[in-house]
Amino acid sequence: MHNRFLKLIGTFLFIIILALSTVLISAVFFPKEAVIVPHITPDLTRLQSSPVIISHQFPFEKTTINLTFPVNVSVYEGAKQADKATTVYGNISETIWLSQSYRAMIQDPAQDSTYTALLAAADKIRLRQKLSDDEYLELITVYIQSLRYETREQNPVKFPVETVVDNAGDCDDKSLLLAGLLSREGYPVALLLFGPESHMAVGVGSDDYHYKNTGYAFVETTNYSFIGVPTDKLGGNLTLYSDPVIIPISNGTKLFSSGNKTTYIYDMYVLSDQKVKELEPQVKSIGSDLTSQQEKIAQLESQIQEIRNTGNSGSYNAQVAVHNTLVSDYNTQLNTYRKLFARYQNYALIHNYILEHMYDRKGVFEYVKKNMPV
C-alpha cells in the first residue's frame, strides 16, 4: 500500500514537472506574441580597421556643400551582414510589427557614432553659413534627397549606416536615414508608409501646412523637393492617393516654420504652369499671323517696286497707301505679340527656375516674389 502511494505521488509530480516544462519550452521557443526585429552585430574582424571617410557633395542654396565625416567600418559591415527579416509570433498586426522593425533599424545603438559624426559635420556647415533652424532642417533634408536613388527587386530595407556609406538608397532607405537624423535634432518625426503605392516618405513637425490629417509636414526623400510640398508624381507617373500609415519615430519640440513660404512657391509653380499653357496657343497664333503679314508685306513691296519702274504714279501711290496700312497693322500686332511673349516667357522662366532649384527654398522664394507678375 505504501509503495503504491509513493508511485502515485511520483506520477503526479512527474505530470506537474512535464506540464511546467511544456509551458516553459513553449514560452521560450513558441511565444504567443513576439516580434524579433533586425539588429546590428558589429563585425569583430573589422574592429581595428580605420574608419571609412564619407565625402558627399550636393547643391544647397547658392553654394555646393561638401559633407565629410567618418563611419565605423565594423558597424557598416555588421549592418550589411545582418538579417533584415522581421520574425513575428502570434496574432500581431502588420502595422505594429512593421513599426517595431523600422524603429529598431533607425535606433539601433550601434549606429550612434555615425549619427553623431554626420550631424557634427552638418552643424559646422550651419555655423559657417549662419543657417536658421529651418535652413538647417532643409540642409539635412537636401543631403538625403541628393543621395543616388537606387532600387532593386526584392531588396530589403537598409540600416541608415548602409545608406550613408553607399551614398544611395530607395524611398524607405532614405526615409529611415532622414527620420533618424531629424529625431536626433529634436524634431517630431514619423514615417509615412503608403502601402498601395509601395512608397515611403517622412513627416516632420510643423507649425502649419500639415499633410492630410497626419499632423506632419510632408517630406519626399527620393528627389529634390520642398518641405511641406507633397510629391506630384512618383516614378512611372504613379500618384500618391492612399492615406499613409503613420509610424511615429520621435516626439521632439522643434517645428518647421517656413511652410507658408514653400506653399507659396508651390502655388506659384502651379499658377505659372497654368499661365504658360494658357498663353502658349495665343503666342503661337499671333506669331503665325505675323509671319503671314510679313510675307504679304514683302510681296507688296516687290509689286510696288515693279510699278515704280513702269512710271505709273497713280497705281504706285495707291499701293504705297495699302503698304503703309499693312505695316501699321503689323507693328500694332507685333507690339501686342512682344508684350504677350514677355508674359509667357516670364511665367516659363519662373516655372523652370522653381523646378531647377528645389534645393534652395530661400533663394526661390525671393526670386518668385520679385519676378511673379502681380
CB-CB contact of 139 with 125 (8 Å): yes
| Sequence letter at residue 349 | L
Q: Are residue 191 and residue 286 in the same domain, yes or no?
A: no
Distance of alpha carbon 312 from alpha carbon 330, whole angstroms: 27
How many whole angstroms separate alpha carbon 291 and alpha carbon 285?
10
Residues 52 and 183 in one domain: yes
Give the pLDDT confidence score for residue 314 in this predicted structure: 85
345 in a structural domain: yes
Last residue of a domain, one of 229, 257, 285: 257
Is the residue at 152 inside a domain? yes
- 229 shares its domain with 287: no
Q: What is the pLDDT of residue 4?
A: 56
Q: What is the number of structural domains in the chain? A: 2
One domain, residues 106 and 167: yes
* 351 belongs to a structural domain: yes
Are 201 and 271 part of one and the same domain? no
Which pLDDT does position 327 carry in this prediction?
92
Tell me, yes or no, whether 20 lies in a domain: no
Domain boundary residue, one of 196, 230, 257: 257
User: Within a domain: residue 19?
Assistant: no
> Would you say residue 84 lies in a domain?
yes
Give the residue among 276, 273, 267, 277 at the shortest CA–CA distance from 364.
Answer: 267
Which residues, given as ranges, of the chain have pLDDT below 50?
1, 5-6, 12, 18, 22-28
Domain residues for the domain of 110 are: 44-257
Residues 216 and 190: beta-carbon distance below 8 Å = yes
Residues 58 and 132 in one domain: yes
**247 and 267 inside one domain:** no
Q: Is residue 115 part of a domain?
A: yes
The contacts found for 78-83 with CB under 8 angstroms, 24 or more apart, are: 78/40, 78/41, 78/42, 78/43, 78/110, 79/40, 79/110, 79/111, 79/158, 79/159, 79/161, 79/162, 80/162, 81/41, 81/43, 82/38, 82/39, 82/40, 82/41, 82/159, 83/38
Co-location of 267 and 350 in the same domain: yes
Element (H, E) at 21: helix 2-29
Q: Considering 206, 234, 257, which residue would you say is the last residue of a domain?
A: 257
Are 341 and 367 members of one domain? yes
pLDDT of residue 153: 63
Q: Do both 56 and 144 map to the same domain?
A: yes
Q: How does DSSP assign 126-141, residue by residue?
A: HHHHT--HHHHHHHHH
CA angle 68, 70, 72 (to 5 degrees): 155
Return the percent helix, strand and coil in the chain, to nearest 5.
60, 15, 25
Residue 126 lies in a domain: yes
Condensed to tens digits (0 to 9), the pLDDT of residues 289-333 reads: 999 999 999 999 898 988 888 888 888 888 889 999 999 999 999
Query: Residue 23 has what pLDDT?
Result: 43
Structure letter (DSSP) for residue 238: B
pLDDT at residue 152 in the model: 66
pLDDT attached to residue 151: 77
Q: Is 2 exposed, middle or buried (0-12, 13-18, 19+ CB in 10 A)?
A: exposed
In a shared domain, residues 239 and 306: no
- CATH number of the domain encompassing residue 352: 1.10.287
